[in-house]
């Protein structure tokens, strides 16, 4: 583990940038994700319509909340009158993993102006966050990558939410086209890039074990947060071994 | 083009809560003077979160998902291409699911990631 500490120190000495070029690079890299997200946006739109939201309401939700996980869960409990407390609680529980993700950005983002850093994190979704961390770990330092990827995803997500909601129920199940696996494949590819040899084995094994158990036995999305916490903690406790 | 005021209120609450979770981790970690231990913790988060997103979906997806995951990992390892891994992963799962013997169709529950 001393190696990663050295790496971190080296990163801290160099400058974190925030350029249009970095933003465009992020947009370009996230474009395939946004394209395979089209089907999911359509499905969300259809479900939102069935739950009683108008196309404009669903569209606003996709722009302002911009979290597929939170939105699918909330649509599942949506009723008339709107169960406000349940909606807020479900959103909070699903969003808790963002705390860890934002903390992981901090070595780079804390070097930006507050406006850029806290503006950018609005656009932090699982996919562009993971890609941004991958870039940082390769030694690249343009923090606008997150924003660029997020913008492309937000435009796609909100547009196709609206289309799905307006078009109604003739949208087919994206699992039929294998598109549900697109995100999983991208996450796997990013993981391959993050592999650091032996020191990754134990934290990753523990995270996977806890996540699989959590997915089986706990409601909702606790498994992501619990797996992430367990793996990171094990990584700290057993560092340097 | 109707927007109900209670619905809008719920959406705004959701937006505030979600943004708070997005900003909260960065805010806390930026304010604290991080120890070496805390830095090691942050260092492990990306891998641990990604594994936690992936592992349950792959495990529950049955043999088709296991093979497609292995193919995606292989492509990423040999080529370093995210797009290549995505295309191969999707193509594999599509082909394998069309074989009746190894085709437990994934429920749309697995879509809920973003």
Q: Where are the domains of chain A?
A: 15-194, 196-241
Q: Give me the mean pLDDT over the A41-62 stretch.
A: 91
The residues in A 129-168 lying below 8 A from B, measured between CB atoms, are 130-131, 133-134, 137, 153, 157
Alpha helices in A83-241 (DSSP H): 84-95, 97-109, 114-120, 126-137, 144-167, 182-194, 198-217, 222-237
Which residue in chain B is spatially nearest to A240 when comparing CA positions?
A: B40
Angle between helices A68-77 and A38-51 (to 10 degrees): 20
User: Higher confidence at residue B60 or residue B101?
Assistant: B60
Determine if the peptide bond prior to A81 is cis (ω within 30°).
yes
pLDDT in tens, B8-30: 999 999 999 999 999 999 999 98
The residues in B 73-112 lying below 8 A from A, measured between CB atoms, are 73, 75-77, 80-83, 85-86, 88-91, 93-94, 97, 105-108, 110-112
Q: CB B47 to CB A239 under 8 A?
A: no
Delimit the domains of chain B by residue range. Answer: 1-32, 45-111
Neighbours of A124 (CB within 10 A): 28
Please state, rounded to an integer, the average pLDDT across all residues of chain A.
88
CA dist A222 and A218 (Å) reads 7
The whole-number pLDDT of residue A182 equals: 82
- Radius of gyration of chain A, Cα coordinates, nearest whole angstrom: 19
- In this model, does residue A3 exceed pLDDT 70? no
Q: Give me the mean pLDDT over the A198-227 stretch.
A: 92
Q: What is the ipTM of this complex?
A: 0.83
The residues in B 32-71 lying below 8 A from A, measured between CB atoms, are 36-37, 39-61, 65, 68-69
Question: What does the longest C-alpha to C-alpha distance in chain B come to?
Answer: 56
CA dist A151 and A139 (Å) reads 23
Q: Hey, what are A18's tokens?
A: 């925030």
Q: Give me the mean pLDDT over the B70-87 stretch.
A: 91
């Amino acid at each position: 583990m001393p190696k990663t500490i050295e790496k971190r120190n080296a990163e801290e000495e160099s400058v974190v940038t925030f350029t249009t070029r970095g933003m465009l690079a992020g947009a370009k890299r996230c474009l395939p994700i946004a394209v395979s997200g089209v089907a999911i946006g359509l499905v969300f739109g259809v479900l939102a319509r069935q739950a009683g939201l108008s196309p404009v309401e669903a569209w606003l939700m996709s722009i302002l909340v911009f979290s597929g996980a939170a939105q699918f869960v909330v649509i599942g409990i949506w009723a008339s009158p709107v169960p406000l407390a349940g909606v807020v609680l479900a959103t909070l529980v699903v969003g808790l993993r963002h705390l860890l993700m934002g903390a992981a950005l901090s070595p780079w983002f804390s070097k930006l102006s507050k406006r850029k850093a806290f503006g950018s994190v609005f656009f932090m979704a699982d996919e562009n966050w993971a890609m941004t961390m991958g870039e940082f770990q390769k030694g690249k330092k343009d923090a606008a990558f997150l924003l660029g990827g997020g913008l492309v995803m937000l435009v796609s997500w909100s547009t196709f939410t609206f289309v799905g909601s307006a078009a109604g129920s003739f949208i087919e199940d994206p699992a039929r086209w294998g598109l549900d696996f697109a995100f999983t494949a991208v996450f796997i590819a990013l993981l391959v890039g993050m592999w650091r040899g032996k020191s990754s084995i134990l934290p990753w094994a523990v995270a996977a074990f806890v996540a699989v158990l959590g997915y089986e036995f706990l409601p909702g999305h606790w498994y992501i947060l619990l797996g992430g916490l367990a793996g990171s903690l094990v990584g700290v406790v057993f560092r340097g071994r | 083009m109707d927007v109900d005021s209670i619905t809008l209120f719920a959406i705004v609450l959701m937006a505030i809560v979600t943004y708070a979770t997005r900003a909260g981790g960065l805010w806390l970690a930026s304010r604290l003077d991080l120890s070496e231990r805390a830095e090691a913790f942050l260092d492990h988060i990306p891998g641990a979160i990604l594994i936690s997103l992936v592992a349950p979906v792959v495990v529950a997806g049955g043999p088709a998902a296991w093979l497609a995951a292995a193919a995606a990992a292989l492509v990423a390892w040999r080529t370093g291409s995210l797009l290549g891994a995505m295309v191969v992963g999707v193509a594999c799962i599509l082909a394998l699911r069309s074989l009746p013997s190894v085709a437990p169709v994934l429920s749309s529950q697995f879509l809920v990631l973003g």
